[in-house]
Amino acid sequence: MMLSRIADSLFWIGRYMERADNTARILDVNYHMLLEQPPNTYKLRWDPLIAVTGERARFYAAHQEASAQTAFEFLGFSEGNPNSIAQCIVNARENARTIRDRISRELWEDINSLYHRVTRMREQEEDLSRFCDAVKRGGHRFHGVCDATLARDEGWHFVQAGCVLERAEMTARILDVHYHQLLEGPRILNESRNHLWMAVLKSVAAFEFYKRQYGQIEPAKVAELLLLDARHPRSVRFNLSALQSSLYAISGSVPGTYANEAERLTGKLHESLTYARIEEIFAGGLHEFLQDLQQTCRSIGEEITGAYFHYSVVA
């Protein structure tokens, strides 16, 4: 038995924690990559980062230009940016506080400690790397504590569903924004281009895995790994598969069937990624494909909400 409101909070704890983690990753990797680039490219390269988070309009309302400092402030701390790392952690913690009777004491104390650690850091005094590191470690610990202390009931599956849906969408966004920039942005030396793809892989912790699988950096292979790989925990396909399992566990559906629109959309998208070839995707336009994919992820989120959290009761 699980209250709709509690399931809703668990789902969003998963999403917010994953969002904070991903944002810290792309912020950190970008920063380090740019340290080694010629200075005149700096300005250009912070803008796509803002775009990944989907907050360009809000950013340019507050800042004139995208620099390391303004991006760090905006993505790391800004109270005006609902998707800043600090705000994601505030929201995750607020959700956890509301349902602290339903999660393990360890999980609550872990999220609460992360909240206190992060909200006490200030951008003027903090080193970007240290900050991102604290958030990433927090993300890893979150998964570890969930794994080690939560019963594998519906609650667990709602946390999982939130995490993997968020991660699938974030990976698609990262790929979309960088691909767009690399192909259509200003001319960049080939050597730098390799560098940028390496940064993308590192931001999703897939660099070592890629090197072992493919060796040479090739944009199409990077896209293939991030979209279609069945084994890497940050590929879109991997996460959709996990999402499908969790949705089935919640509803009791068996493979090949679906109990609601969220399951149908997830199954359909997962199927298409399972049998797709990267060449076909490129032929149809990667950007268009990724846009559709992100839209489907948003629809899945809405359908989960409609099926489990906010349905109407006829009284």
Partner 1 sequence: MSAAAAEFPPDQLLFTGYSPGSFYDELIAPNGEPRPCAARMYEQLASMPLDIFEERRKLADLSYLVQGITFTVYSDGRGTERLFPFDLVPRIIPRSEWDVIERGLAQRVMALNLYLQDIYGAQRILKDRIIPRHLVFSCKHFRREMVGLNVPRDIYVHISGIDLVRDSRTGQYLVLEDNARSPSGISYVLENRLVMRRTFPRAFETSEVMPVDHYPSELARILRSLSPRTGERPVVVLLTPGLYNSAYFEHCFLAQEMGIELVEGRDLVVVDDVVYMKTIHGLTRVDVIYRRVDDDFLDPLAFRAGSLVGVPGLINAYRAGNIGLANAIGTGVADDKAIYAYVPAFIKYYLGEDPILQNVETYLCSDPQHLCYVLDHLPELVVKAVGESGGYGMLMGPSADKKTIEEFRHRLNADPRNYIAQPVIPLSRVPSFDPAIGGMSPRHVDLRPYCLYDGEKVTIVPGGLTRVALQRGSLVVNSSQGGGSKDTWVLRGDE
Binding residues (CB under 8 A) for partner 1: these are 1-5, 7, 94, 97-102, 105, 108-109, 112-113, 116, 154, 250, 308-309, 311, 313, 315
Q: Choose among 132, 175, 151, 163: nearest CA to 245.
A: 163
Cβ proximity to partner 1, 56 vs 102, nearer residue? 102
Please report how close the Cβ of residue 103 comes to partner 1 at its closest, in angstroms. 9
Please report how close the Cβ of residue 173 comes to partner 1 at its closest, in angstroms. 29
Please report how close the Cβ of residue 110 comes to partner 1 at its closest, in angstroms. 9
Task: Report the alpha-carbon distance of residue 217 to residue 282 in Å, rounded.
Answer: 17
Q: Choose among 161, 135, 311, 154: nearest CA to 239.
A: 161
Task: Report the alpha-carbon distance of residue 93 to residue 64 in Å, rounded.
Answer: 32
Residue 203, φ and ψ in degrees, nearest 5: -65, -20
Cβ proximity to partner 1, 57 vs 254, nearer residue? 254
Please report how close the Cβ of residue 117 comes to partner 1 at its closest, in angstroms. 11
Structural contact between residues 195 and 218, judged by C-beta atoms closer than 8 angstroms: no
| HEC string for 177-226 | HHHHHHHHCCCCCHHHHHHHHHHHHHHCCCHHHHHHHHCCCCHHHHHHHH
Q: Choose among 114, 120, 166: nearest CA to 137.
A: 114
Cβ proximity to partner 1, 182 vs 259, nearer residue? 259
Cβ proximity to partner 1, 34 vs 304, nearer residue? 304
Cβ proximity to partner 1, 275 vs 311, nearer residue? 311
Q: Choose among 117, 88, 115, 104: nearest CA to 145.
A: 104
Q: What is the separation, in whole angstroms, between the first and last Cα of the chain?
A: 21
Residue at token pair 């009931």:
153
Structural contact between residues 17 and 88, judged by C-beta atoms closer than 8 angstroms: yes
The pair of structure tokens assigned to 45 is 């390269």
Cβ proximity to partner 1, 99 vs 297, nearer residue? 99
Cβ proximity to partner 1, 15 vs 178, nearer residue? 15
Please report how close the Cβ of residue 162 comes to partner 1 at its closest, in angstroms. 14
Please report how close the Cβ of residue 288 comes to partner 1 at its closest, in angstroms. 35
Please report how close the Cβ of residue 209 comes to partner 1 at its closest, in angstroms. 36
